């Protein structure tokens, strides 16, 4: 089954310096039918104005992934990390038993990032941090793994979830197949372009939630980029 959610159906939250689109229930947005997709709990498409950002705040029991598309994030946390995450880099924080951090855009230009939260496969983990430059923008008609808890993949950011995040890029008329299983689910968020996923058309900032299939076929109608997330079909209460 392929469920299409078009861009205009995302929840928008604007605070002047921050313009966010929530793909799942978050903050002041709650929909009983849109809380998580397997262990994927949050997917926020954030644009942060220059010289602004989030002050120190706390998290626990969550795997927090930040993918920077444009600009750079100035990050500081209670583990002693003080770093910059630039476009093309990926960050993972295991909040575990508790972590505080800040995220700021210290440049004049707008910052564009995706932040994803995954419910961990084990609670009570020690907080930890990882950051890696993966150069995913160089993808050519392929899927580039960015973050994974599936240990068969190398040279990726590790997270404590049996899930994998890929960055995909396809030129017009190119096609790729993603092999999955009926016990897994696939989530796709279109960054740009137009694709057909198992025959279902999606355009910029649309999302597709796919389950009970063994093969996901993605064909680009124009040059396209997207995030693809492979997760277990978990129905347990988190």
- For residue 163, the domain's CATH number is 2.60.120.10
- In this structure, the answer to whether residues 99 and 185 fall within a common structural domain is no
142 and 78, same structural domain?
Answer: no
Those residues whose C-beta lies under 8 Å from the C-beta of residue 40, and which sit 6 or more positions away, are 24, 116, 117, 118, 163, 187, 229, 231
Question: Do 27 and 123 share a domain, yes or no?
Answer: yes
The answer to whether 215 and 165 are in contact (CB under 8 A) is no
The pLDDT value given to residue 124? 96
Residue 236 pLDDT exceeds 60: no
Domain of residue 37: give its range.
10-134
**Within a domain: residue 178?**
yes
The Cα 213–Cα 88 span in angstroms is 31
Within-domain flag for 159: yes
**How much of the chain exceeds pLDDT 90, in percent?**
91
Does residue 100 share a domain with residue 71? Answer: yes
pLDDT digits (tens, 9 = 90+) for 38-77: 999 999 999 999 999 999 999 999 999 999 999 999 999 9
DSSP summary character for residue 7: G
Burial 25-63 (b: 16+ CB within 10 A, else e): bbeeeeeeebebbbbbbbbbbbbbbeeebeeeeebebbb
End-to-end CA distance of the chain: 24
Q: Quick check: 238 pLDDT over 50?
A: no
CB 13 within 8 A of CB 28: yes
Residues 126, 65 share a domain: yes
Distance between CA 224 and CA 218 in Å, rounded? Answer: 10
Q: Are residues 107 and 155 in the same domain?
A: no
Q: Are residues 125 and 225 in the same domain?
A: no
Average pLDDT for 110-114: 98
**What is the arithmetic mean of pLDDT over 169-197?**
97
Burial of 157 (0-12, 13-18, 19+ CB in 10 A): buried
Q: Is 14 among the domain residues?
A: yes
Stretch 220-233: mean pLDDT: 97
Read off the pLDDT band of 155 (50, 70, 90): confident
Q: How confident is the model at residue 237 (pLDDT cuts 50, 70, 90)?
A: very low
Q: In which band, very low, low, confident or very high, does the pLDDT at 235 lie, cut at 50, 70 and 90?
A: low
Based on the fold, state whether residues 130 and 18 are members of the same structural domain: yes
Are residues 114 and 163 part of one domain?
no
Q: What is the pLDDT confidence band of residue 203, given thresholds at 50, 70 and 90?
A: very high
């Amino acid at each position: 089954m392929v469920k299409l959610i078009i861009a205009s159906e995302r929840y928008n939250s604007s605070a002047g310096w921050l313009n966010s689109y929530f793909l799942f229930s978050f903050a002041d947005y709650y929909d009983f039918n849109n809380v998580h997709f397997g262990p994927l709990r949050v997917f926020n498409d954030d644009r942060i104005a220059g010289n602004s950002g989030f002050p120190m705040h706390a998290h626990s029991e969550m795997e927090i992934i930040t993918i920077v598309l444009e600009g750079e994030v100035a990050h500081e946390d209670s583990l002693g990390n003080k770093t910059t995450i630039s476009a093309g880099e990926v960050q993972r924080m295991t909040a575990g038993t508790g972590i505080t951090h800040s995220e700021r855009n210290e440049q004049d230009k707008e910052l564009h990032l995706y932040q994803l939260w995954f419910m961990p496969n084990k609670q009570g983990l020690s907080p930890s941090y990882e950051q890696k430059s993966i150069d995913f923008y160089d993808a050519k008609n392929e899927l580039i793994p960015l973050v994974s808890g599936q240990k068969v993949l190398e040279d990726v950011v590790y997270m404590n979830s049996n899930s994998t995040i890929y960055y995909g890029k396809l030129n017009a008329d190119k096609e790729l197949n993603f092999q999955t299983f009926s016990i897994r689910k696939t989530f796709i968020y279109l960054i740009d372009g137009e694709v057909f996923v198992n025959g279902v058309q999606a355009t910029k900032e649309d999302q597709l939630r796919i389950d009970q299939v063994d093969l996901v076929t993605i064909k680009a109608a124009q040059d396209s980029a997207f995030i693809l997330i492979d997760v277990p079909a978990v129905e347990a209460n988190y």
